[in-house]
Amino acid sequence: MKIALTVDGVRREAEIDPGECVMDLLRRLGSTSVKNGCDRGDCGSCAVLLDGRAVNACLVFAAQVDGSEIRTVASLESPAGLHPLQFTALDAGAVQCGFCTPGMLMTALDLLANQPDPTEAEVRRALAGSYCRCTGYTKPVAAILTAATLLREARHG
């Protein structure tokens, strides 16, 4: 089956198998930032934005994304530099092994798009589907809260 989709702003066409998941398709298309941590939707390492919503790419069939837009963490950096989520994650020491980081950042991007001024509890709730063995979540939560502040300040000039 042939599908067309946009990945990180680039229109792509792909031949897919009926049972193929989006994570496997993205990896096949060269998106190495999409990690396979569990293949069951438990860890959040494969989180991407699908038409603006964070989803675990291992749980979505590729056939379901025909005509959709997918953003991976690779879409965050711009010619102007790192996205505030990337910058604050690095600055706060929220990136240790880095395996969960792409999924965590995409989940945070979805959260901040819908709640630009989240509480710590809201950030923790959003990250509940992201499994991290290294950070203890304190630094990622702080980084996301700082990024939220930077993004709000940038919007208000």
Whether 94 and 113 map to the same domain: the answer is yes
Mean pLDDT value across residues 106-122: 98
Structural domain harbouring 138: 84-155
pLDDT one-digit tens code per residue, 125-148: 999 999 998 888 999 999 999 999
Query: Which residues are CB-neighbours of 25 under 8 A, at least 6 positions away?
Result: 14, 16, 62, 65
pLDDT of residue 135: 86
Q: Domain boundary residue among 27, 47, 75?
A: 75
Record the pTM. Answer: 0.95
Mean pLDDT value across residues 8-22: 97
Q: Is the pLDDT of residue 123 over 90?
A: yes
Mean pLDDT value across residues 109-128: 98
Query: Which residues are CB-neighbours of 110 under 8 A, at least 6 positions away?
Result: 49, 52, 53, 54, 126
CATH number for the domain harbouring residue 63: 3.10.20.30
Distance CA 27, CA 117 (A): 33
| Mean per-residue pLDDT of the chain | 96
Whether 6 and 69 map to the same domain: the answer is yes
pLDDT one-digit tens code per residue, 46-75: 999 999 999 999 999 999 999 999 999 999
Q: Is the pLDDT of residue 157 over 80?
A: no
Q: Domain boundary residue among 14, 41, 75?
A: 75
Check residue 27 and report its DSSP letter: H
Taking the chain, what is the end-to-end CA distance rounded to the nearest angstrom?
47
Whether 62 and 88 map to the same domain: the answer is no
Whether 30 and 47 map to the same domain: the answer is yes
Q: Domain boundary residue among 58, 75, 92?
A: 75
Whether 67 and 25 map to the same domain: the answer is yes
Q: Please report how many Cα atoms fall inside a 13 Å half-sphere around the Cα of residue 146, on the Cβ side.
A: 18
Whether 88 and 151 map to the same domain: the answer is yes
**One-character DSSP codes across 73-112:** GGGT-BTTB--HHHHHHHHTT--SS-SSHHHHHHHHHHHH
pLDDT of residue 143: 98
Q: What total of structural domains would you count in the chain?
A: 2
Whether 51 and 113 map to the same domain: the answer is no
Q: Is the pLDDT of residue 91 over 90?
A: yes
Whether 141 and 96 map to the same domain: the answer is yes
Whether 63 and 108 map to the same domain: the answer is no
Beta strands 10-15 and 47-50: pairing type? unpaired
Whether 125 and 145 map to the same domain: the answer is yes
